[in-house]
Amino acid sequence: MTDQLKVLVTGAAGQIAYSLLYSIANGDVFGKNVSVSLILLDIEMMQEALGGVVLELQDCALPNLKKITATCNVQEAFTDIDYAVLVGAMPRRQGMERKDLLKANAKIFKEQGKALENYAKKSVKVLVVGNPANTNCLIAATCAPSISKENFTCLTRLDHNRAKAQIATRLEVATSAVRNVIIWGNHSSTQYPDVRHATVSVGDEAKPVPLVVKDDAWLNGDFITTVQKRGAAIIAARKLSSAMSAAKAICDHLRDWHFGTPKGEWTSMGIYSNGSNYGVPENLIYSMPVKIDENGYTIVDGLEIDDRSRVRMDATANELLEERNEAMKFLSQ
Ligand code: NAX
* Mean pLDDT taken over the chain: 96
Task: Assess whether pLDDT exceeds 80 at residue 142.
Answer: yes
Span(s) in the chain for CATH 3.40.50.720: 4-154
User: Edge to edge, what strands does the sheet with 83-86 contain?
Assistant: 65-71, 35-41, 4-10, 83-86, 125-128, 152-154, 267-273, 284-293, 296-299
Task: Assess whether pLDDT exceeds 90 at residue 92.
Answer: no
Per-residue pLDDT tens digits for 35-84: 999 999 999 999 999 999 999 999 999 999 999 999 999 999 999 999 99
The mean per-residue pLDDT over the stretch 276-297 comes to: 97
Centroid of ligand 1 to alpha carbon of 147 (angstroms): 24
Ligand 1, from 10, 16, 234: best to mutate by most atoms within 8 Å of Cβ?
A: 16
Residue 69 pLDDT: 98
**132 CB near ligand 1 (under 6 Å):** no
**320 CB near ligand 1 (under 6 Å):** no
Span(s) in the chain for CATH 3.90.110.10: 157-323
The mean per-residue pLDDT over the stretch 299-314 comes to: 98
Grouping H, G, I as helix, E, B as strand and the rest as coil, residue 65 is strand
Residue 56 pLDDT: 98
| Backbone dihedral angles phi then psi of residue 49, each to the nearest 5 degrees | -65, -40
Catalytic residue (choose from 187, 197, 253, 258): 187
**268 CB near ligand 1 (under 6 Å):** no
**185 CB near ligand 1 (under 6 Å):** no
Q: What is the CATH number of domain 4-154?
A: 3.40.50.720
What CA–CA distance (Å, rounded) separates 134 from 155?
Answer: 8
Residue 2 pLDDT: 64
Q: 109 and 139 in contact (C-beta within 8 Å)?
A: yes
Centroid of ligand 1 to alpha carbon of 33 (angstroms): 29
The mean per-residue pLDDT over the stretch 182-204 comes to: 96
Centroid of ligand 1 to alpha carbon of 43 (angstroms): 11
Q: What is the CATH number of domain 157-323?
A: 3.90.110.10
Cα–Cα distances in angstroms (integers) from residue 293 to residues 4, 24, 117, 256, in the given order: 20, 21, 25, 9
Task: Assess whether pLDDT exceeds 70 at residue 166.
Answer: yes
Task: Assess whether pLDDT exceeds 90 at residue 1.
Answer: no
Task: Assess whether pLDDT exceeds 70 at residue 222.
Answer: yes
Centroid of ligand 1 to alpha carbon of 170 (angstroms): 31
Residue 332 pLDDT: 77
What ipTM goes with this model?
0.99
**Residue with CA nearest ligand 1 atom 13:** 88
Residue 284 pLDDT: 98
Task: Assess whether pLDDT exceeds 70 at residue 250.
Answer: yes
Centroid of ligand 1 to alpha carbon of 106 (angstroms): 14
**127 CB near ligand 1 (under 6 Å):** no
- Least confident range of 83-97, 108-122, 317-331: 83-97
What CA–CA distance (Å, rounded) separates 116 from 74?
Answer: 10
258 is catalytic: no
Q: 77 and 71 in contact (C-beta within 8 Å)?
A: yes
**Nearest atom (ligand 1) to Cα of 129:** 41
